[in-house]
Chains A and B, each alone.
Chain A
Amino acid sequence: AQRVTQPEKLLSVFKGAPVELKCNYSYSGSPELFWYVQYSRQRLQLLLRHISRESIKGFTADLNKGETSFHLKKPFAQEEDSAMYYCALSGRRDDKIIFGKGTRLHILP
């Protein structure tokens, strides 16, 4: 079964501290992994995708196929990082996108 699991509903981190949002997935095959973000009063938008191997707003995510994980990391949290973060996957042969339940990241001053 295709599934994305985000174990933390809420993560509170002090400004300047490292951030790690956890994501585990279940998929028969080789999926593409994404992180989407929703800032307050804004629409859901792509933050980064595994295939691009890029760093966006200081965030990176490494795909670990052995652990079926795609954790999102940032070395130094900023207040503007406060938002809802959703891990998602899609198949290589179709673009059906499945989302996790999301983690609310709260950056403390």
Chain B
Amino acid sequence: EAEVAQSPRYKITEKSQAVAFWCDPISGHATLYWYRQILGQGPELLVQFQDESVVDDSQLPKDRFSAERLKGVDSTLKIQPAELGDSAMYLCASSFYEGAGTEAFFGQGTRLTVV
């Protein structure tokens, strides 16, 4: 069964350093999401792509975060410089639009710890 792949699973970085996460969605899924999940809270949408285009990045802290999906397939989320408050689980998800009620498929996530 096809799954969304994310790497690395865990990342520890010092504050002010740069960090990057990678996501490979399910083949054929045009929509890709990056979510941030702080411990004890629900996933918060950071950015949504449709193919290679950003359709929503209203909650992305653009002074330090960037995301790209150059060929409309895999995607990279970058933080530079990392801050202590960025410690969280970063989830990637993808979907194939089937109209209303489309299901999103999630990766295992990358747990980031900033020290």
Contact = CB atoms under 8 A, between A and B. Distances in A.
B42 A51 contact: no
Contacts of B95: 95
A51 B107 CA distance: 24
A92 B102 CA distance: 10
Nearest to B107: A43
A52 B48 contact: no
B21 interface: no
B103 interface: yes
Given A94-B55, A95-B31, A86 B104 contact: no
Interface of B: 3, 31, 33, 35, 40-45, 48, 55-56, 91, 93, 95, 97, 100-109
26 contacts: A4-B42, A6-B42, A34-B101, A43-B3, A43-B106, A43-B107, A43-B109, A46-B103, A46-B104, A50-B101, A51-B101, A90-B102, A92-B100, A94-B55, A94-B56, A95-B31, A96-B45, A96-B48, A96-B56, A97-B33, A99-B42, A99-B43, A101-B40, A101-B41, A102-B41, A102-B42
